[in-house]
Structure 1
Amino acid sequence: MGARVRAFDWTTTSLGPQERWPPSLLTLVRVMLNSRQPMFIAWGADRTLIYNDTYAPMLGERHPAALGRPFFETWPEVRGEVGALMDRVYAGDPVHMNDLALTLHRNGYPEETHFAFSYTPVPGDDGTITGLFCACTETTRQVLAERQAASERQRQQALLQQVPGFVAVLRGPGHVFEYVNDAYVTVAGRRDYIGRNVRAVFPELAGQGFYELLDHVYATGEPFVAQALPIRLVGEDGDRYLDFIYQPIRGAAGDVTGIFVGGYEVSEQIRSRAALAESESRYRTLFESIDVGCCIIEVRFDDADRAIDFQIVEANPAYERQTGANVVGRWVSDFAPDLEQHWFDTYGRVALTGEPAHIENRADVFGRWFDVRALRVGDPAARRVAVLFSDISERKRMEQTLQDLNATLEQQVHQRTAERDQLWILSEDMLARANYDGMMSAVSPAWTRVLGWSEAELLSRPYGTFMHPDDMGPTLAALARMGETRQPTRFENRIATDDGRWKLIEWTVAPEPDGANFIAVGRDLTLAKAREAELASAQEALRQAQKMEAVGQLTGGVAHDFNNLLTVIKSSTDLLKRPNLPEDRRERYVGAISDTVARAAKLTGQLLAFARRQALKPEVFDAGRSVLTISDMVGTLSGSRVRIVTNIADEPCFVDADPSQFDTALVNMAVNARDAMEGDGTLTITVNPVATIPSIRTYPAVSGDFVAVGIEDTGSGIAPEQIEHIFEPFFTTKGVGQGTGLGLSQVFGFAKQSGGEVRVQSTIGQGTMFVLYLPRVEAATRPPQVDPEPLVDGHGMCVLVVEDNPDVGTFATQTLTELGYVTVWAIDAEEALAELTKDADRFDVVFSDVVMPGMNGIDLAHEIRRRHHDLPVLLASGYSHVLAQNGTYGFELLHKPYSVEQLSRLLRKVASWERRKRILSELT
């Protein structure tokens, strides 16, 4: 190629004469021509091609005409794959690929090729990329060889799986398991085999010689054959025995690359022989009962001391079973004249020399294989031999089966194919073979039974035309993903029937190894979906009935308690209307109304806590410290005869929850425990960090970081049939007037709304333990806030009141006026925004209800924050699902019913005093 480059007329190319080539190009050409690795240079805007001798064979028939031509004139068929890569290189980005698959026409026909290469950009004098340098290697043979080897391995493994004996394939000097068949697993047990070496899989074989045998076979290349070799596996008391072979596997170069292991377990035969050997001292007793055939023979010799006949002197019953004949006292020449000579030679040698013999051989006259042990007995002159034998015809048959496997493989394949075809015909599921281009090449008869289409119709149309239009996109996307991942997938879609209906089909689809086709199995879900719908309808009806029962119980309990509270309020207001009422009585009745309102608010709070709809005020606090603080109050509530024991963890247990609701939950559980003990017993309160919430009711266990607060009493316990009801609202086991039945429902609601759980365990006569679980958090970093003192004089501060309820709106404006505020009342959010649009600067604070028609108070507050970011907002609500789910979004909240003092304090807290001072100064 050096000579060709020098002789080439470069003036006809974009490179021009060689004497004008830039130094960088000349240097690369010299490097390339002196290298033995395939290389080429693509130079200039048309990427003129220069290459060396080892690259020329890759060009095939296009060499030597390719020299000096633009790259893609030489290789037009690779412009799509290679063009983008070269563009990256000309942009200054080096490119390296270990395997690029290309279809080339270099020898006049398309052929699949593979290359490993690197493209290096070559800058010119001005720094711009003027060419690229490529060092490459064609890996086509290697890739195709690896692909063929993988296919061959799969075929071999399929064959080995059908071998009746155990088979394993080990690779490398470390003897790493590459394959085991099911028979191997049956013998050795289920273990993690593939990819692990023998020593790791069978550590118990250390010292038994198997490692050393494998090492020897691998090192020498000599096979090892064992008969009845003992082996002891883990967890077994005795030895097993194996007949097996270690056959070295050689690579293409003849070197040993692995070991083939194959054989059978012969433990039963060996144990039978051992039993015979152990019982020789009691020969006569056992002679009649052993399963091994045994006989005493007398050998007859000719003048040359060659055995020519023998007589059966004595035989046990097993002899007759093994041979099928009772021949005691007869000569073999009488009943088996065709017996092979090797039997006479073996027995004659034992009789003459006294050396025992152990052979395996076939006796054609009996049509069987025998494992025979022979030893001389009695006076040597008597020429008598004891023969012990076992029928090993079955084992030999299995060995022959293994040897004949290759010869019978084709027949087995035909048999398996026939079985598969039978399954294809009889299967109730719809079976199909299809490609990714949209056509099916085979369908089972179940398609016609389920959908009505004929086989010809199914195979002549793209399978997408049978799909419901809404399902086609997801189905084709699932098939495309399967084609990329090569992993089976499952999905559902609707398929048209021949009468215009749609049937819902569940598909299980798996790719075939060829990468172009896949197998699909479809199951008609029509009946299953109908049954699911019936079940869902029945369950929904049951849930609705249960819901109505719970609603009835809840509303009845609420009505009872609120009627009691309203009776007190009504009686007090009637008495307040009486003329000439003394001042002390008036104050008593007003106090009764105030106390009753507080109890009603508490009852409402308990209902909201159970429903997980209260607007909590969470903050981070130490649960252990909170328990210690409230324990004195618990002791007061419990009485002097209840002993309080606290076990608090040494480490802080911080939780993020409403501390007031936390204290209420503790008090509710403590009061419940006190009543269960009838005021006499031990109440134990514990606080500990835990890593798991155990399985509770129908919910599984939850792992995480939690704080467990336990309340355990020594009371009477809770009956098992009542455990599932104790958290229901108004459910109580106490007498009338002794409890509302909302205490434990408040605990349940608080736990759920705080992201936790509550568990109860109880034993009748021994006591009950409640455990409250709350998520554990890090210590708080923000300082506690101190509420300001109530504002007793509004000093003319202007408040925009937003309230849709006339009574509440009238009360709020009158109250604020009494406190010295100036008020403007808007009945909804739209009217409030209109007032702010007129003149927002006149207002110091907005006081809005949360629940209103149209835009709610939360949305109004967000809109005010967006439009007038420095105007504070105070919200008021008795209940809002928005607040319960999402909190107050950083706005201050006043809970209804509220007192004048509470309203005054929060107004002072949220009001911007700097803004008020600025406005007052402008007015003066």
Structure 2
Amino acid sequence: MSNGIADIFPGTSEMARVMREHDWSATPLGPPAQWPEALKIPLRMLLTTRFEMWLGWGPDLHFFYNDAYIPTLGIKHPAMLGHPFREVWSEVYDEVAEQVEVVRKGESTWNKALLLLLERSGFPEETYHSFSYSPLHQADGAVGGLLCIVNEETARVIGERRLETLRQLGLSLAGVINLEGLRDAIAKTFAANQRDFPFVSLRLADDELGVGDGLFKQALSSLPAQFPEAGEIISLPVQGMWPMGEWDRPPEQAVAIAVPGVVGGSHAGHLLLALNPYRGSDQEVINIARLIAGQIGGSLANIMALQAERRRGDRVWSVSRDLMVIVDSNGVFRAVNPAWTRILGHSVDDVVGRPFSDFMHPDDLAASSDALAQALGAQELNNYENRFLATDGTYHSIQWHTTLEGGLVYAYGRDVTDRRLVEERLSVSEEQFRHLVQGVTDYAIYMLDLEGHVSSWNEGARRIKGYEPEEIIGQHFSRFYTDEDRASGEPARALETARSEGRFLAEGWRVRKNGERFRASVVIDAIRDDDGRPIGFAKITRDITEREKAQFELEVAREALFQSQKMEAIGQLTGGVAHDFNNLLMAVMSSLDLLRKRLPDDPMAQRLLNNAVEGAKRGATLTQRMLAFARRQELQVDRVDVPQLLSNMNDLVQRSIGPEWPISTHFPLKLPAVQADANQLEMALLNLIVNARDAAPSGGPIQISATCETLQSNAISDLPAGSYIRLVVKDRGAGMDANTLRRATEPFFTTKGVGKGTGLGLPMVHGMTQQIGGKFELLSKLGDGTSAVLWLPVASEPACEAVNSEPGNEPVQIRSLRIMAVDDDALVLMNTAALLEDMGHEVIDVNSGAAALDILKSRDDIDILITDQAMPNMTGVDLIVAIEKVRPSMPAIIASGYGEGVAVPGREIVRLSKPFNQMQLAEAIAEAVN
């Protein structure tokens, strides 16, 4: 081996050796000694890095790759070394050919998790790769080749897809109450993942039609005689007309697995899951199939229990010794059970259709009418007693219990004329509880005696821990602990904690019957008798092994996402919380507004009221910061002169932070104005200056500088091309480590002491800059201070100056109006109506857009509409658009805490920001009707 070859192909890797031994003279590239430096330099980098890389050189892009790329190449290694790229990946070349041409023109490309069907294992295989193509330039500037850096993400993409299927199936099955709902939930879930499972077929054990029943008949010749609970991969008959899902060819294999039934019973059904034809041998899918079958089995068990309960309810209605009735809102009996005849003598036909007042003792009529009103208001009555007339002329005392459903009152009453105490129906409740607990399969629920011996065992315990009831009842629960935990006395410590504190909570490792360890979440509750003496323990265990594994995998994937994507997700959550909090503040502030007018002239009462108002205003400021972070607050964007803004606030800020932190500014002579909300920008700068002070508790200079920057496309992530002002606030503090810097803009994260910061200052700055089209960055290293950078878009043209009008202290006086108020939040709706009525208006309050539209179609005497924006089924904007067809140009006000998404196409509407007070409400009404 010559030193020249060793220099071209350096290192001890397998590919360095293979390249040194390759006969390059037989290729169009010729002897390596004649290769240009433009090829040798990236080739040395490729052979000395552990990142997965390949490069192509020459007109045909002859193929070079390193050790990390060998698994991706598969059986094509090492035969494809030096071959043209088109030959190496002939099966996918057409999909990337356009990108190759882009690289030949001197530009780079990027692909995130691109689906490629690669024949690297002897068959087309579904793979996902994130990769970039970069041009390799020769000495004369021409493109001589291509460099590709690859990261295979096949396992991550397929794993996340399968986990999402399990999650969606669990969500879909959560509310299922019948077989039709079960079929719909399964069909909907698997329709969303037809790559892993091109089709699914479920046949129930009781011969009731399941999902895709006809596919079972096609597969009959390949199905096992007994479907195993562990699952089995079978080959599908080649002559079958199989659904192909999202692929271009039918599946060749499927998982046949039994759906588990209740404890001790036969299987609830059989499940057939078609497998991805482009995955080859994939045993991991068996575990997914088991979880799917378990979820379906649990849902079937719940359906069976519910159906049995309904049948029991029908029997109870017929044979109950107590009165059972259904009463409508007018107090008319819609149905009564046969017990009415037995107890009071009236026939059922004589009672149904008549008001209860016909049978009521006159002295009880008024109170009973009030009780019915309470029951219709969703207030359940318990042990409410009145007297009913029997056919023999006597009155029976009946004790009633009610519930409301569908606008009807369902009630049962017990005759307590001779015995006034209601008999305890513990046996029924215990049976219901036993069925409930026994049907739970995701949790191990069982009882322990005072010494820790198992006294009951449910299906979830059998599934999770592996013991049959007869194997474990009477045994000590410590056998589920690891040897290390038993040696350290953990079981006894858990029982003692539950006994002394009432509950023990922990997560730790537990052991199944087969010796396998699993991660468990454990709750032990002490059970006490009526005198408070402990009589045993209730223990609930949940297997969280898969959850923690999935959580770990998700955390790893989440770390790979860009910071802006993470902030966007947190912003959505923060905006939602702020929206709900705004509604709460709306109720509080409007109530305080009205209360102020009704309080006596008591200084203490006024001071307390003022404190409450101030607290509510602080809450409103907090929500504005949260909305700013979520980029949902209403901004008054205008031209802002940054030096002038800082000059106006400099003295106040300097006095606020103290002389130990002198502020200096460095601006160019002609700094263009920026497009921003002056108040929000001032608040952002104040936050950054205070943070700079807190970062250097011993004092130190704070420097504020600005430069004008013109950015090209993609020069800075998330910023479009254009002109920006780069505004920097720099301190000389201790700086931040990488982890603190990464989390600094997360809401509620703060390094300050308790009570010294909300953790919303930097998120507010982040949200504000993004909302105006800019960006916020933090640059910091330990020991080197921190620079807070705001990228602010340069204003294009001068805006017209708005005429400022100071709001008055009293609501605007306008004539009395008939106003419809619409809000799905009952508290907000009630207080809005109260504010309007206090101003002398007539209010029609409605809790949904659909109901409001129906009223407006039938009435033309409503003067103005005030509606919430974020309502289910029909938003405020949707309502106004719909009303425009019925009442064109009707005055309308939208009340919302968000600053976006409230524009109505084709017309102007008045915006009212939540939370609002009476004065702001009056001004909005005046603006809308004038």
- In the superposition, the TM-score normalised over structure 1's length comes to 0.38
- In the superposition, the TM-score normalised over structure 2's length comes to 0.38
Determine which structure has greater relative contact order: mean sequence separation of CA pairs < 8 Å that are 6+ residues apart, divided by chain length.
2
